[in-house]
């Protein structure tokens, strides 16, 4: 299967706008491993092969244990995640699956127990951004496999 669209070439302004969101998130104060964990979880839910490949590699390059990665889609039943990570993963799922309950109050309360108002805003932006990337990648049939994390690429 080949790519349908090459956003950076065809619509560079749109690609740059998406990149700007990621740059903001990198400076937001949220931990990089947490950002990549929620990116991976949203990409699992959405079935985005390119983003799964990318964020799995980013997490491994950042020192993440494989056990936590292969158990991510069963995080509720796995003992490998902190309470803060669990709150972020629940928030990620609720925001990604927005039509299945419109982010229940219970999920919000759990997020607020572990994150400040600004952090919840940034988490929400992170989830919205990866969901947008997933949709762009899936619609454009971006081919997975070639991505290299900055730590490896440099």
**Which pairs with CB-CB distance under 8 Å and at least 24 residues apart come from 144-153?**
144/49, 144/50, 144/52, 144/53, 144/54, 145/53, 147/50, 147/53, 147/54, 147/57, 148/57, 149/57, 149/58, 149/60, 149/61, 149/62, 150/61, 151/61, 151/62, 152/57, 152/61
User: Which stretches of the chain are DSSP H helices?
Assistant: 7-10, 12-26, 32-46, 49-61, 66-70, 83-96, 105-114, 117-140, 150-153
pLDDT in the model for residue 151: 65
In tens digits, the chain (154 residues) has pLDDT values of 688 888 889 999 999 999 999 999 999 999 999 999 999 999 999 999 999 999 999 999 999 999 999 999 999 999 999 999 999 999 999 999 999 999 999 999 999 999 999 999 999 999 999 999 999 999 999 999 999 998 654 4
| pTM for this predicted structure | 0.94
Can you list the domains of the chain with their CATH numbers? 7-153 (1.20.1290.10)
pLDDT in the model for residue 154: 45
- Of 73, 75, 86, 78, residue with least CA distance to 115: 86
Burial 92-107 (b: 16+ CB within 10 A, else e): bbbbbeeeeeebeeeb
Q: What is the Cα–Cα distance from 36 to 108, expressed in whole angstroms?
A: 20
Do residues 11 and 140 make contact, with C-beta atoms less than 8 angstroms apart?
no
């Amino acid at each position: 299967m080949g790519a349908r669209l090459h956003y950076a070439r065809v619509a560079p302004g749109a690609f740059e706008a998406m990149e700007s969101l990621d740059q903001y998130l990198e400076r937001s104060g949220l931990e990089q491993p947490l950002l990549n964990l929620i990116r991976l979880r949203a990409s699992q839910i959405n079935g985005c092969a390119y983003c799964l490949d990318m964020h799995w590699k980013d997490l491994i390059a950042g020192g993440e244990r494989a056990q936590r990665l292969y158990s991510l889609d069963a995080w509720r039943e796995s003992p490998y995640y902190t309470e803060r990570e669990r709150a972020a993963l629940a928030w990620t799922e609720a925001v990604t699956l927005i039509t299945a309950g419109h982010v229940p109050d219970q999920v919000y309360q759990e997020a607020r127990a572990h994150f400040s108002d600004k952090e919840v805003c940034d988490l929400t932006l992170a989830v919205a951004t990866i969901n947008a990337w997933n949709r762009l990648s899936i619609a454009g049939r971006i081919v997975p496999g070639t991505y290299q994390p900055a730590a490896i690429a440099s």
